[in-house]
Amino acid sequence: MRGSAAFAGTTSTWQTPRSAARSSCSSRWRYGRSSANRGRWPLRRGRHRARMAEGSAPVEVRRLQVPDGARLQRVDRFVTDVTGLSRSYVQKLIAAGHLTSGGSPLKANAIVGPGTALQLEVPPAEPAEGIAEPDIELRVVYEDPDLLIVDKPAGLVVHPSPGHRSGTLVNALLGRGGADAWGGIAGVARPGIVHRLDRDTSGLLMVARNDAAQASLMSQLKARRVKKTYLALVSGSVAAAVGRIEAPIGRDPRHR
């Protein structure tokens, strides 16, 4: 079986904070990715790299401000909408004390309103735990700074699992370009797998390079804006031109 996916549109320039800043905004503002609030919430570009000890990676500092006219809301939701980071990762940063207002750390359920100034510190992405395997050949059919699309061959498992610690698509991607090839998914320098294909199914897979791309791709998949097409090759005599197969599907307890 072979699967493929098509975007709603012809290019990969979806509306995310990063893309908006590059294409349609001045150097002072960035805009949130939420579909309900897209284009409404400005984010000050007061971003700089904090000084760190020599030899260590810098912390990225983002200065945010709730704009006039915005409704009262939880701070973790606001930060998620304007940065493109996943909500779970934002909550992790907040729990570690990386989000402050006026020098004081905030809790995830803190309520913020118009004019509230925030500072978010994003640590450098940690190395992925998976094994990098550059010897696994991959056919990349599309690539840009935010995502790549690979043609997964049949027989290749997508994710490492108890039965497949190595030799997977993720291992191959980690070996392609090193850690610098991945902008960080939830604080880890790893590829963002947003959908999967079974081991014995070949086809196209979208892989995000950063949080904003992963959030946008997953949102498009959830909204059914990505069209998937599956082709099956069969042999033998088929009794009917149209039919339905109902059979149990589950993981074999021994052969994973």
pLDDT, tens only, 23-36:
332 222 233 333 33
Give the residue from 236, 250, 194, 190 showing the smallest Cα distance to 217. Answer: 194
Cα 72 to Cα 35, 39, 77, 116, 118, distances in angstroms: 18, 18, 11, 10, 15
- Tell me the CATH number for domain 17-124: 3.10.290.10
Lowest mean pLDDT among 118-122, 168-172, 243-247: 243-247
CATH classification of 2-10+127-231, choosing from 3.40.50.970, 3.30.2350.10, 3.40.50.10860, 3.40.30.10?
Answer: 3.30.2350.10
Q: Where are the alpha helices (DSSP H) in the chain?
A: 17-23, 75-83, 87-95, 169-174, 211-222
Ordered by start, the domain boundaries in the chain are 2-10+127-231, 17-124
30-62 core/surface letters (b: 16 or more CB in 10 A; e: else): bbbbbeebeeebbbeeeeeeeeeeeeeeeebeb
Q: What is the pTM assigned to this prediction?
A: 0.59
| pLDDT higher than threshold 60 for residue 54 | no
**What digits encode the pLDDT tens for the residues 188-216?**
778 889 998 988 999 999 999 988 888 88
Please identify every residue annotated as catalytic: 198
